[in-house]
Amino acid sequence: MTKSSSNQMWGGRFAAGPDAIMEAINASIGFDKRMARQDIDGSRAHASMLAAQGIITDTDAGVIREGLLTVLSEIEAGTFEYSAALEDIHMNVEARLKEIVGEPAGRLHTARSRNDQVATDFKLWVRDQFDAAEGAILSLIAGLLEQAEAGADWVMPGFTHLQTAQPVTWGHHMMAYVEMLGRDLSRVRDARKRMNECPLGAAALAGTSFPIDRDATAQALGFDRPSANSLDAVSDRDFALEFLSTASMSAMHLSRLAEELVIWSSAQFRFVTLSDRFSTGSSIMPQKKNPDAAELIRAKIGRIFGANTALMMVMKGLPLAYSKDMQEDKEQVFDAADNWMLALAAMDGMVRDMTANRESLAAAAGSGFSTATDLADWCVRALNMPFREAHHVTGSLVALAEKEGCDLPDLLLTQLQSVHGGITEDVYSVLTVEASVASRTSYGGTAPSQVRAQVARWRETLA
């Protein structure tokens, strides 16, 4: 087969033939350069440990550490030249280090492998993302607490099946998302704690014969301890999967709130007004104010879910220890992290800028016979009626109100008594939405007193 026909088989993009294809599929520098700082931090810690253990000289370690800082400064300045031929960030850094410091650079890789090196770099990067996520979630919780406190006694409809169910308060609705994000915060902190074991020193898969001090490198890099099994250390990507799982759960919560903001900001609801900073106009309809930020949050979540599934599929069939398949872990995590952080920031901005329309909320709160449950509860308390009978009586009164074209509080006492003669005028005390929400004083209920208590509890917890 001629060279030209071989190239045609490989395709026009790879005119150089199989070598170009192998380089393209094998190289990861296009994306793993994002771990440059973590790679250099790990190498500096490793060099210090090697010198402390007498494996390399203090002089060589000092030269290596300073040279690595020079490499980092070039990367941060944007003057570093990456090479796909060197495959990854580790080899790119080491090659440049050799150009800067010469022969001592060759001693840096003593007692380690790219397998434990990449696991360490990736853990450090994911750990940084967990820390960033924690800060972003805390900020969003703070914004929701401000909304909840301001609207602790603002009545609005509560929904099930997106149908009016019972009156709640704006503050109570905001606090529901605080609780969701609180669980996200807990998962972030829990996963970060669990992942904080250092793979460095596991080498390729079996450890090393050099007298290294893994506790020293773990401590230098902020890990709680070194990982206990070298095979597991280089083949573990649970930390990345937990990051994606945690991000997916949190993103799902953001998407639910985004969906509500899309609905609430519509002309049919008018529950909230989103700021111009997080809305856009229409190219043809001048009256439009579109909740694009909320819609994009809702859409971007799919990328995070997809990354979670994709990495699960990569890892599910891999034998111990390292396989090149695991190079496919980083792009998924990088993309998910970018979109999670963006979604958190955008939602934080929307929540802090949005205005709840108190009048529209109140007008909708009493629609759909939202105090029907309060009427049934009153029958149980005041008339000693079994709840199932009270439910039937209330259903009959709702049907009567529908027939009359009015709401429950608008029915005359004689009309109420036509369904059940024991009903007294006292029943009107529970038929307003304000009385309804005020009565829901059970722990976690929608009563303004409960909302304010929950806001105070969260402020104390976060303090």
Q: pLDDT tier at 25 (50, 70, 90 boundaries)?
A: confident
Q: Is 391 a catalytic residue?
A: no
Residue type present at position 457 = R
Render pLDDT for 360-372 as a digit per residue (tens, 0 to 9): 999 999 887 778 8
Interval 15-42 mean pLDDT: 83
Residues pairing with 272 in the sheet: 356
Q: What is the pLDDT of residue 363?
A: 92
| Entry pTM | 0.89
Instruction: Write down the catalytic residue from 161, 209, 283, 442.
Output: 161
Interval 305-333 mean pLDDT: 92
Interval 389-404 mean pLDDT: 92
Angle between helix axes 238-264 and 170-195 (nearest 10 degrees) is 170
Instruction: Write down the catalytic residue from 6, 83, 275, 282.
Output: 282
Over the range 337-365, which residues count as b (16 or more CB within 10 Å of their CB) and which as e? bebbbebbebbbbbbbbbebbbebbbebb
The answer to whether the beta carbons of residues 212 and 237 sit under 8 Å apart is no
Size of the chain in residues: 463
Distinct helix (H) and strand (E) counts, the chain: 19, 6
Report the chain's mean pLDDT, rounded to a whole number: 91
Q: Is 161 a catalytic residue?
A: yes
Percentage of residues of the chain with pLDDT beyond 90: 73
What is the helix (H) or strand (E) element at residue 226, kind and residue range?
strand 225-226
The answer to whether the beta carbons of residues 451 and 171 sit under 8 Å apart is yes
CA 5 to each of CA 11, 17, 23, 411: distance values in angstroms, whole numbers, following the listed order: 10, 10, 20, 88
Residue type present at position 290 = N
